Every structure is written in C-alpha cells, then in structure tokens.
Amino acid sequence: MTSDEREQAVKAAIDGELLLLDPEVRASPARVLELLDPEFTEIGTSGRRWDVKSILAVTSGGSVSPESPVEVSEMSESVLAPELVHLKYFTDYQGRRVWRSSLWRLTETGWRLYFHQGALAA
C-alpha cells in the first residue's frame, strides 16, 4: 500500500466518521445506510449491542441536536490492512465525554463503518 493510498483510506474513514456525527446525516436513514457496513455492530456506552436496524432507529430519532454539535478531539488513526482503518477519538456532547473506537473497511461500494465502540471517559 502506497502512502497516497494510506492517506486516502484514512481520509475516507475520518470523513465517514464525521458524517455519522452530523445531525442532518443522522436524521436520514438512507444516508446512514450508505455509511454502515451490512455487518455493522456497535457496543454502546451502556454496554448494549447495536446492529444496523437498531442503530437506524436511534439515529433517525434526532439523537444529536443541531444546536449542540458533537465536538471531536484527539483523533488518531491506524491502517491495519489495505482495506481496514482503525480510528480512535474523544467526543464531547453536552458535557458527556466518550472515548470512541471505530473500524472502517473497504467494500465494493466504498468505505463503510464495520464496528464501533464507545466508553465513557473518566
């Protein structure tokens, strides 16, 4: 994998991750589906396991207010394989700070979020 390919993979994963935090994107099940891998799973801060169907119910319900955007900090990335990017970062939403970890994989239709986990930060 060339350095240009690595940069493109990382950019695609970060762009996708930030789109999933955007209230307008989250409100559109079709747009969220474009970003989620069909095998997507998440382990939420509550310990609950989510899949595509259950996460769509939450995101389309307006879980993020446009008046109070999610703040992202300390983003770091690792290319684990040519078709797999790992992102780690913090979010702050209305005073709730969460450490997040996402795996993005390249599919026939582009980069998709395969796995996500959030843990409350101390």
Concatenating the DSSP letter of every residue in 66-122 gives TTSPPEEEEEEEEEEETTEEEEEEEEEETTEEEEEEEEEEEETTEEEEEEEEEEE--
pLDDT at 64: 56
Based on DSSP, count helices (H) and strands (E) in the chain, helices before strands: 4, 6
Q: What's the pLDDT score for residue 60?
A: 74
Res 67: pLDDT: 65
Answer yes or no: CATH 3.10.450.50 is held by domain 3-120: yes
Helix (H) or strand (E) holding 65: none
Residue 119 confidence (pLDDT)? 95
What's the distance, Cα to Cα, between the start and end of the chain in Å? 37
Mean pLDDT, contiguous 10-residue spans, the chain (122 residues): 95 97 91 96 94 88 67 96 97 93 97 97 86
**Is residue 64 within 8 Å of 29, Cβ to Cβ?**
no
The domains of the chain are located at: 3-120
